[in-house]
Each structure stands twice: as C-alpha cells, then as structure tokens.
C-alpha cells in the first residue's frame, strides 16, 4: 500500500475506523519531512493492508493539523478506530514506526 495524500475535506473518509491509520503531518518546506517520506513509503509496502498511511500537508490542510494539535513537523500520529493512540514528533528510524504499528496490531488481535 502506498501513501495517500489526504486533506481537510477527505480526511474523515480516508481514516480506517476499525483499523490502524498512520498519519504523517508534513510540509513541503520541511527537510526532515522529505527524509521521512521514503521511509513511510517502504513501510507501507512492507505492511500492506495492516495499516493505512496518510500524508497531510499542514499548510494545505490547517484544520486537520489544528484538530490534532500539530505544532512541529514531521509529526506522525497513529489512529486506532479513528482515535489517536500514539504520537511521534520529529524524524525517527523506520523501525520505530514499524514497531508502533506492530504493537497496536497485536493489541487489536487480542
């Protein structure tokens, strides 16, 4: 599964209400965001249907960013059943994001 770009109008329909959604809050002018993008694309291909990965440009979609209290980029928020369960601010290694998804996938199967 590849990254899907979402915006204020589409966001509610894009998140998976009963599954996991990883949301990357980004900006085109943010250097760490540019380095994170290929990591998340790889992760999306590795994890397939286990998680939906969305990219939200905070400048183009300020309402979504405000709703989740995003103040710094990149901010990655993991949603479970449409609600935030984890937040990572700043660039992290790909394994960190993979572990986050694995942790909540395991919790869902209990």
Query: Which residue numbers are catalytic?
Result: 30, 33
Burial tier of 78 (Cβ tally within 10 Å: 0-12, 13-18, 19+) = buried
DSSP for 62-107 reads: HHHHHHTT--SSSEEEEEETTEEEEEEES---HHHHHHHHHHHHHH
User: How far is CA 97 from its chain centroid?
Assistant: 9
């Amino acid at each position: 599964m590849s990254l899907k770009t979402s915006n204020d109008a589409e966001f509610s329909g894009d998140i998976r209400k009963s599954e996991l959604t990883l949301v990357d809050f980004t900006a085109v002018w943010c250097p760490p965001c540019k380095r994170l993008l290929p990591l998340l694309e790889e992760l999306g291909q590795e994890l397939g249907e286990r998680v939906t990965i969305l990219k939200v440009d905070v400048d183009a979609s300020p309402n979504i960013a405000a709703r989740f209290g995003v103040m710094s980029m990149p901010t990655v928020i993991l949603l479970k059943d449409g609600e935030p369960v984890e937040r990572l601010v700043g660039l992290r290694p790909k394994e960190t994001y993979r572990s986050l998804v694995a942790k909540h996938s395991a919790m869902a199967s209990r």
